[in-house]
Structure 1
Amino acid sequence: MFLLLAGAGGFIGAVLRYTISGWINKKTASPFPWATFTVNMTGSFLLGTVSGLDVAEAWMTLIGTGIMGGLTTFSTFKLEGLHLHKNREKKTLAVYTIMSYTVGITLYITGYAFPMLFS
């Protein structure tokens, strides 16, 4: 059952990432990888929120492991970092890396605290 929940959620998350990334890539012409940054930051906040809700294991599997796992992408983050390095975009690489980690962790913590505002 949990395998199916993770798989269904992963499908939904991957479709969302593909759709959101495609839309952002059409709107931006920057060496900064805004599409991946946006989906990763959105996923950080949403995963924090789901974690802060203390939902049942089945919901965490569907949403946390599945949807957020399919939406966010650590491998593409690394690949884009490598491309920035190869293209000698060292300042962009530094900003992208620092922002991804610091903003991502901050958004996770913010998302985790978010449900407490309403309880």
Structure 2
Amino acid sequence: MNEAQVRAQVRPVALVAVGGVLGAVARHAVTVSLPSPTISVPSVVLGTLVVNVVGSFALGALLSDARLTTALSAETRLVVGTGFLASFTTYSTFAVETASLSPRLAVANVAGNYALGFLAVVLGQVVARWLS
């Protein structure tokens, strides 16, 4: 394999890695900056909900339809979509946090994350189409 082929294979991985690092740092910053709304709901649960909803909105807007996705370069989609937003949002943290809640709060957390997440994707698509 020549140097150009190696660079062509490494570049996408590097773009995802850069976006991923920035997304993880942004997620942590949001989580630690939010106050806990009640004693029974830790701020990390609220932070995870916020980043999942915001990230769903952003991904919905970023990839709203074929016309808009072709307007973005493959590199932009890798850095922002696959790297940043995939790292900013988090299913595994959501699952672990949900398992640590009381049954009533766990059900509310699951319902809130999924309902608001899907709504945010649709709203992101609508906003992106409206702006284009």
TM-score of the pair, normalised by structure 1: 0.89
Show structure 1 runs of 4+ deviating over 4 A: none
What is the aligned partner in structure 2 of residue 16 from structure 1? 26
Once the two structures are TM-superposed, the CA of residue 106 in structure 1 deviates from its matched residue by 1.1
Compute the TM-score of the two structures, normalised by the length of structure 2.
0.81
The answer to which of 8-17 and 91-100 deviates more is 91-100
- In structure 2, the partner of 1:80 is 97
**Normalized per residue, which structure has more helix?**
1
Task: Give the paired residue count.
Answer: 113
State the percentage of identical aligned residues.
27
RMSD: 1.2
Give the number of the structure whose alpha-carbon radius of gyration is greater: 2
Gaps of 5+ in 1: none
| 1:16-68 deviation digits (Å, cap 9, x = unpaired) | 011110101xx115333201100111100011111123122211110001000
Unpaired stretches in structure 2, ≥5 consecutive residues: 1-10
Q: What is the correspondence of 1:1-119 to structure 2 with a 5 Å cutoff? A: 1-24=11-34, 27-30=35-38, 31-32=40-41, 33-52=45-64, 53-54=68-69, 55-84=72-101, 89-119=102-132
CA–CA distance in structure 2, aligned partners of residues 39 and 73 of structure 1: 8
Q: Which amino acid aligns with 2:103?
A: K
